[in-house]
Structures are given as C-alpha cells and as structure tokens.
Amino acid sequence: MNLRDSLHQIDGKGYGTYRQIRGTHQVGEFQLSIDKVQVDPYAPASLMRVILPSGVVDLPNELVDDAAGRVATSDFLTRRFAQAIRESSRTNTGSAVSIGSPGQQVLQRSSIVIGENSIEARIAVDLPASGRKIRGRQAAKILTEEVPQIVERSLKHQHLDAQALADHVSLYRDQQYVRSVLASNGLVGFVGDGSILPRRSGDTDTPLTEGAVPFSTPETMRVSFQLPSGRTVTGMGIYEGVTVIVGGGYHGKSTLLSALSRGVYPHISGDGREWVITKADAVSIRAEDGRSVTGVDISPFISGLPSGADTTQFSTTNASGSTSQAANLVEALESGSTALLIDEDTSATNFMIRDERMKELIAADREPITPFVDRVRPLLTDCGVSTVLVAGGSGAFFDVADHVIALDEYVAVDVTNRAHDIAGTSPATDNAQTQASVFEQEAAERIPRADGLVAQAKKKPATARGRSVIQFGRERVELSAVAQLIDPAQTAAIAFAMDRLADELDGRLSIAEAITLLLDKVESEGLEVLSPHRGHPGHLALPRRQEIHSAVNRYRHLRLHT
C-alpha cells in the first residue's frame, strides 16, 4: 500500500498507530524514509529523510566536486529548502515541516547531504492530531503533497537561481582560500574594506543597516589577496605578534574584536563580515568565574595560591575571574590555538595587568598572579601564539605591542609609532634581553582516565539544550561563555561527540588526541558518525575542535590520570 492510502486508513485511530508508517516509502520521484515517529502530538517532531537520485537534482559537477563545494552547495540548498517551507507556510497558514536551518555562517551540516548517487534532506515533521487521534488525511496531504512541492522548488537545479548558487559556492571557496593563506602571509586575521562589523542589536547576528560606518583600512596596514574566483579583495591585515586595539569608549573596539572572533567561520553574502577572515584556530579568551577546571597547568600565570593548591595541575569546582581566564587560555593552547582574542570588557583586570603602585603596596611574593601583560611576549616567542587584544583603559600593553590600532568613531588608525614613542620602548628592543622561557613548547596534554568522561546516572544520549547547555547524564555542561560556539546544531554535535569521546578514551589518549581521532572520522565519514541514531542523525553542524575541547573541559566530573 502506498503512503497516502496507509495514512488514510489510520485516520481517527489512536496517535500511537502512526508508528506503522515507519520505514521507506516511494513518494513521487523520491524516497521518504520515516526514521523516528513521535510518540504523542507534543513530543519532538518525527524525523524523516527525503532521498532524491542525483540525476533528478542535477547539480553542476563543478559545484560539488570538492568538499568545500559540497558544504557550500548543501548550505545553499538548506536555505532554499527553509525558504520553500516558509512559502508553503504562508499559503497553508503554517507548516508542520522543518529543517535545521543555518544562520549567518556557512557550516557543514547534516540537514542536506550531497552523496555520490543521491541527495538527502533531513527534515522533521510534526504529525497532525486532533486531540490524541490521528489526522491521517491531513498527514497524507503534508507528506505526499506539501513535502514534494517543497522538494520540487528547492532541490531541483532547474528551479534554483543558478547564478546565486554559483556565487554562494564561489564566495565560500574564496573565503576558505584567504583563511588558508593567512599563515603563509604572516597574518592572523584580515578585515576587508567596506565590511559592516556592527550588528543590528545585541541579540541578533544580522548587520546594522542604518548608520553603520563601513570598515576602512589604515594605509600602513593594507594587504590584498588575489582570489580563486579571479577577484581581488583588499583590507587590513592583522599580523602575527601582539596587536592592541585602543580607542575611546563606544568607538567600536569590541565590535571589531567580535567580528574577528566570528571570522573563524565564513559568512554569507550580505552579512557585512564576508571578508572578515580569522585563523581557523583563533580562540576568544575571557574570564568565566564559577566554571569548573580539571588538572590544568596555569602556573605560567598563577602560582603560590594562599590555599597552597598546586597550580601545575589546577582543579577547582568554582574558579575565580583570574584563574578561570588563565585556565581558558592554557586550554586554548592545548587545543592547538595559535591566536588569542581578548577583550578588556570580559577580562579579569588582575589577570591582565598590575600597575606600579600596586606592586609597591603588595609585595611580589604575596601576589600569586603574573599578569598577562608579562606573558604575552613569551607566548609569542616560546609558543608562536599571537594575541589580539582590546585595551582602552590602560597603556600598559604599549611596550609589548607590535601593532596598535586606534578606533576613532569606528575608523581604524595605525597608532603604533605614537604608542611606542609614549612607552619609550617597543617589543623589538625588549626582546633583546631574552627571558627564561615560561611556557613549554608544547602545552602539557591532559589524559583522562578510561572512565574519565563517563556521565553519571546516564540512560539517554547527551543532548543539547539550545546553544549553550549540554545535558550530560545528570550534569549540565554550561557553555554560555564559549563565544565561538555559535549554532545550537553545533552544540547538538558536541553533545554527541562527548558520548563518542567517552567511549574512545582508554586511559592513554589525551583529550586533544581523542578529539583529533573523532574529527578525522567526521571528515571521512560525515557528521553522521557522531549520532547515536540510525537514519536521520538529528540537526547537527560541525563544531571546531576548540569548542569540543571547551565542552569536555567544563564537564564537572572529568577525571584525569594523575
């Protein structure tokens, strides 16, 4: 029996009877695989996959012949699919169909996957009920009329805006290219001329449209890239080393740094940050008091705590502002980061600087903290780690800065020379006196016990609750301070990744090694390998290794080999 007849037949029956439609059905040109049927009308929507033969979709080969092209094309199709759902919703006053939809960034997602011979759209459908009874005719309309219409409009190349698709892929390839050549150009970041950095409001990710001052590059910092598409892009290069962003309050310092923080991801056309490109491993570092820390060597920053706690393997269930910021920084190094982004607004002052008067009042041996200003050069010289830092309130960083950028009414100005004149020194001169190295070349890797990441009292897979919380057994892993975790679908992927890592850890693998193995698997087999479910994997998007690391680090019952 076909799906339509089956649904008509169970019309009016108890909701649980929907279970009978599980399985694969031919619906017109595609197969509909109904993988998970909701148990009641209020449960999360049922999960299904639309499987179309490649021939029907007919994508131009040059768009999908490499991984980058497939990511960008899938992203385009997903956006188009979501738009077709909205259109359908407008004519039918609402739609029961949904797809995990992207925001301003282009990420590898599980929503639409382009395979060798077929294309799969992973959707969710709220199966209709009247009270607790099945509305079978309504369900048949949704699955055999509405879904095919959405598929027709959004997944067939002949009905797509071919130019828009080609541009989408080309932009993504250009952006990935710039990111890939930053290091060989001695750069950690790039901000294209004309970029719109401010957002419409504090809680949206879309650009400010009225009164936004487009970014303009100081002449001395101008660089340009010849792109694979043939175009050229020009803007401000942020060089390896120490870059300090200064300027009066409300002149756009944090906005620039936030854009760089997001610049680890490619942005869609029209976002304003298309040409803000940051090294892929750059990490935003902030204070995060209250977080849990397990066995992190924060001794380069903090030693001789009044409690006598060992700071080479520092653990706490309730970190202070300064210890949390130190732990965040050292963990970022452990995750392979080579560029740190730090804003005074979210930093612990005593972690960042200590002035002369305070040094006079409080003897050095009574102060456990060596401030970041004294460590930012060794970080660079010992470990090759660059820093971009916002410091509007203190000139203490002038001595250690390679570049100083002032923002004046949102306009960037190169004030490096003036800052060095004021300081009467520059890093070039202070480098002459070589200091003993305080950082190990390689950050010490932490090795969890084989059962070191096993959730307590756990029955169900780990799950994401929105962008910033993972429910892991009975523990909530709080990720709201992890600034570069941007999409709830990434959080969902990290939740599953934590379960996979818990399985993989054997008492020998370090956290970093286990994450590397897992991400290698994702690269060769797709995001689906993270999912505990067969068929529809859930709405997942690829996180960076740094954010997976961040989640593991914040798990309050992480247990290490000692």
Interface ranges with ligand ADP (CB under 6 A): 197-198, 208, 211-213, 247, 249-255, 410
Is 390 or 494 the residue whose CB approaches ligand ADP more closely? Answer: 390
Is 161 or 250 the residue whose CB approaches ligand ADP more closely? Answer: 250
Q: Which does 198 bind (CB under 5 to 8 A by kind): Mg ion, ligand ADP, none?
A: ligand ADP
**Least distance from C-beta 250 to Mg ion, angstroms?**
8
**Least distance from C-beta 494 to ligand ADP, angstroms?**
28
Torsion angle, CA of 148/152/156/160, rounded to 10 degrees? -140
Phi, psi of 127 (to 5 degrees): -70, 130
Q: Is 475 helix (H, G, I), strand (E, B) or coil?
A: strand
**Least distance from C-beta 213 to ligand ADP, angstroms?**
4
**Least distance from C-beta 210 to ligand ADP, angstroms?**
9
Q: Which does 306 bind (CB under 5 to 8 A by kind): ligand ADP, Mg ion, none?
A: none
Question: How far is CA 135 from each of CA 32, 132, 331, 526, rounded to the nearest angstrom?
Answer: 19, 9, 53, 36
Phi, psi of 132 (to 5 degrees): -110, 15
310 near Mg ion (CB under 5 A): no
Which region, judged by CB under 5 A, interacts with Mg ion, from 316-324, 337-345, 419-427, 530-538? Answer: 337-345
Is 254 or 323 the residue whose CB approaches Mg ion more closely? Answer: 254
User: Looking up tokens 């960076």, which residue turns up?
Assistant: 544
Is 196 or 498 the residue whose CB approaches Mg ion more closely? Answer: 196
Q: Which does 212 bind (CB under 5 to 8 A by kind): ligand ADP, Mg ion, none?
A: ligand ADP
537 burial level (CB within 10 Å; 0-12, 13-18, 19+): buried
State the Cα–Cα distance between residues 297 and 455, nearest whole angstrom.
24
Q: Which does 347 bind (CB under 5 to 8 A by kind): ligand ADP, Mg ion, none?
A: none
Is 131 or 249 the residue whose CB approaches ligand ADP more closely? Answer: 249
Q: Which does 33 bind (CB under 5 to 8 A by kind): Mg ion, ligand ADP, none?
A: none
Q: Which does 230 bind (CB under 5 to 8 A by kind): ligand ADP, Mg ion, none?
A: none
Query: Which residues are paired to 108 by β-bridges?
Result: none
Is 23 or 248 the residue whose CB approaches Mg ion more closely? Answer: 248
Which residue in the set 74, 111, 243, 254 belongs to the binding site for Mg ion (CB under 5 A)? 254
**Least distance from C-beta 395 to ligand ADP, angstroms?**
16
**Least distance from C-beta 65 to ligand ADP, angstroms?**
39
Q: Nearest-CA neighbor of 235 among 272, 264, 180, 283?
A: 272
**Least distance from C-beta 235 to ligand ADP, angstroms?**
14
Which amino acid would we find at residue 536? H
Question: How far is CA 178 from each of CA 133, 220, 262, rounded to the nearest angstrom?
Answer: 56, 20, 15
Is 200 or 222 the residue whose CB approaches ligand ADP more closely? Answer: 200
User: What is the chain's alpha carbon radius of gyration, rounded to the nearest angstrom?
Assistant: 26
449 burial level (CB within 10 Å; 0-12, 13-18, 19+): middle
Is 237 or 252 the residue whose CB approaches ligand ADP more closely? Answer: 252
429 burial level (CB within 10 Å; 0-12, 13-18, 19+): exposed
Cα 389 to chain centroid, rounded? 20
Q: Which does 523 bind (CB under 5 to 8 A by kind): Mg ion, ligand ADP, none?
A: none
Length of the chain: 562
Which residue in the set 5, 62, 345, 355 belongs to the binding site for Mg ion (CB under 5 A)? 345
Is 194 or 526 the residue whose CB approaches ligand ADP more closely? Answer: 194
CB 529, CB 521: distance < 8 Å: yes
Is 253 or 377 the residue whose CB approaches Mg ion more closely? Answer: 253
Helices 321-334, 545-554: inter-axial angle, 10-degree rounding: 140
Q: Which does 252 bind (CB under 5 to 8 A by kind): ligand ADP, Mg ion, none?
A: ligand ADP
Name the token pair of 81: 């699919």
Q: Which does 358 bind (CB under 5 to 8 A by kind): ligand ADP, Mg ion, none?
A: none
CB 305, CB 366: distance < 8 Å: no
Q: Nearest-CA neighbor of 472 among 489, 494, 505, 449?
A: 494
**Least distance from C-beta 219 to ligand ADP, angstroms?**
19
State the Cα–Cα distance between residues 321 and 335, nearest whole angstrom.
21
| Number of amino acids touching Mg ion (CB under 5 A) | 3
**Least distance from C-beta 287 to ligand ADP, angstroms?**
16
Is 67 or 213 the residue whose CB approaches ligand ADP more closely? Answer: 213
Is 45 or 212 the residue whose CB approaches ligand ADP more closely? Answer: 212
Q: Which does 291 bind (CB under 5 to 8 A by kind): ligand ADP, Mg ion, none?
A: none
**Least distance from C-beta 271 to Mg ion, angstroms?**
21
**Least distance from C-beta 216 to ligand ADP, angstroms?**
10
Residue 353 DSSP one-character state: -
The 3-state DSSP composition of the chain as helix, strand, coil percent (nearest 5) reads 40, 20, 40
**H-helix segments, 92-183:** 136-141, 147-155, 162-181
Name the token pair of 171: 């932009």
In order, the DSSP letters of 78-126 are HHHHHHHHHHHHHHTTS-SEEE----SB---BSSEEE-SSEEEEEEEE-
For Mg ion, the binding residues in 63-92 under the rule CB under 5 A are: none
**Least distance from C-beta 196 to Mg ion, angstroms?**
18
Q: Which does 213 bind (CB under 5 to 8 A by kind): Mg ion, ligand ADP, none?
A: ligand ADP
**Least distance from C-beta 215 to ligand ADP, angstroms?**
7
Q: Mask of contacts with Mg ion, 234-253, x by CB under 5 A?
A: -------------------x
83 burial level (CB within 10 Å; 0-12, 13-18, 19+): middle
Chain residue at closest Cβ approach to Mg ion: 254
526 burial level (CB within 10 Å; 0-12, 13-18, 19+): middle
Give the interface with Mg ion as residue ranges (CB under 5 A): 253-254, 345
